[in-house]
Amino acid sequence: MSDTYLDLVSRGWGKSAAKKLGLPQPVRLRRTDPASVDQPLVPGPVLVLDDGASQRAADDVAEALLGWHLDVRRDPELAKGRRWGAVVLVVTDAASPAALGGPALALGGVLRRMAPGGRIVTISRRADDATDPSLVAVRQGVDGFLRSLAKELRAGATANGVVLADGVPVLAPSALGALRFFLSARSAFVDGQLLQVLTADGEVPADWTRPLTGRVAVVTGAARGIGAAIVRVLARDGARVVGVDVPAAGDSLSRVMNEVRGSALQLDITAEDAAERILEHVRERYGRLDVVVHNAGILRDKLLANMTEDRWNDLLAVNILAPLRMNETFTDELGAGGRIISLASTSGIAGNRGQTNYATAKAGIIGMTRALAPVVAAAGATANAVAPGFIETDMTARIPPMPRQIARRVNSLQQGGQPVDVAEAIAFLASPQAGGVNGQTLRVCGQNMVGQ
């Protein structure tokens, strides 16, 4: 959907007027094209900083970045006259909050030289894995530092963090995979988020631009909007895709699946035998199933005082009860490298007026994902969720104009996300390099200012 205000302030007099009046000044984000491979990974040289104790880990990270053919520097003074494309702050071995001062201030000293669409990524350790108060304090302190920094950035720059469990090396496949995702244009609308890497599982793909080659994915609700974007991005990354949607959306579904040379299945996912029919279709076409994306969802918004039984029950049937029932079948089918990825929502985290039914279902998705993670881990698979914020779709286009404008501006990037932003996060979680990420909910919301 078009954002007229963003169009207006992206050029000449509109940009100047917004600045003079103190109005939001969103910029066009550096995004990927769902139909083609990545552009350059970052828009300039990469600075790698550390706290001293983490120097060896930072050297390893710098070496990995050099392997991606990036211009890597360890000294802020070595790129004078150029804008930084990214800064990576490694504090995996910091032992006290006092250790953060030096690298944090060094980072602050280069912020004015960040390129538009630049990236800041912290690499730290999980506070939950420590017991020493000082160690817990510094690790938790990175969380507050990163989220606050993300709110200060401008010109489409973002800040995100990779949080490693104790024992997971900085060069583990999922640590590298998360770092690359956060550096790239694939994470355009992911901001202020800290993604936990719990194990050293996963594998580095032979081709970073097509990591899903040879994998078979099922996407529900695939006919339009976010679902169609997921189909396109998974196919671009090499997957063979089966798109599922209700018969009423059959024409749209066929168009999307023909576009990516995938397979269309018209099916109501609330049917008792939905999972079995999906598996039968997948086996007949491709012989295997590797990735399930629970995207299908509906809205039945109403204040609770006006909520009807059919609005409540219909929404829960599609948004949470169907994925729960289908997972009973899919968990037995997925083996090593399998992925279950479900669409949650920031409404399920922070709540939203008029969405008690929707927030119940989406919070349920987050809980389902957390509980499912150890079950599928036994087979070498993972279960994760993606929680979009305000995304420009047909559904959000029906929001009245003023509330829609407010919803667009109340995040750190001051604009709505695009369906491709959600699709890119799902594609990362579906990839082999995300094998150490399990039971997590990754928010794609531009760092919305409500909730967590």
Name the residues annotated as catalytic: 358
Neighbour tally for 451: CB within 10 Å: 15
41's CB contacts (< 8 A; 6+ apart) are 68, 70, 180, 183, 184
Q: Cα(349)–Cα(92) distance, rounded to whole angstroms?
A: 28
Q: What's the token pair of residue 296?
A: 């299908």
Neighbour tally for 68: CB within 10 Å: 15
Residue 260 in contact with residue 231, Cβ under 8 Å? yes
Task: Name the nearest CA neighbour of 265 among 296, 244, 236.
Answer: 244
Residue 197 in contact with residue 124, Cβ under 8 Å? no
362-396 as b/e: b if 16+ CB within 10 A: bbbbbebbbebbeebbeeebbbbbbbbbbbbbebb
What is the dihedral sign for C-alpha 369, 371, 377, 378? negative
SS3 content of the chain, % helix, strand, coil (to 5): 45, 15, 40
Q: Cα(66)–Cα(58) distance, rounded to whole angstroms?
A: 12
Determine whether 279 is exposed, middle or buried from the number of CB atoms within 10 Å of its CB (0-12, 13-18, 19+): middle
Q: Cα(228)–Cα(419) distance, rounded to whole angstroms?
A: 8
Residue 413 in contact with residue 422, Cβ under 8 Å? no
Q: Cα(257)–Cα(265) distance, rounded to whole angstroms?
A: 10
Determine whether 329 is exposed, middle or buried from the number of CB atoms within 10 Å of its CB (0-12, 13-18, 19+): middle
Residue 161 in contact with residue 440, Cβ under 8 Å? no
- Numbers of helices and strands, H then E, in the chain: 16, 13
Q: Cα(445)–Cα(323) distance, rounded to whole angstroms?
A: 23
Cα 44 to chain centroid, rounded:
23
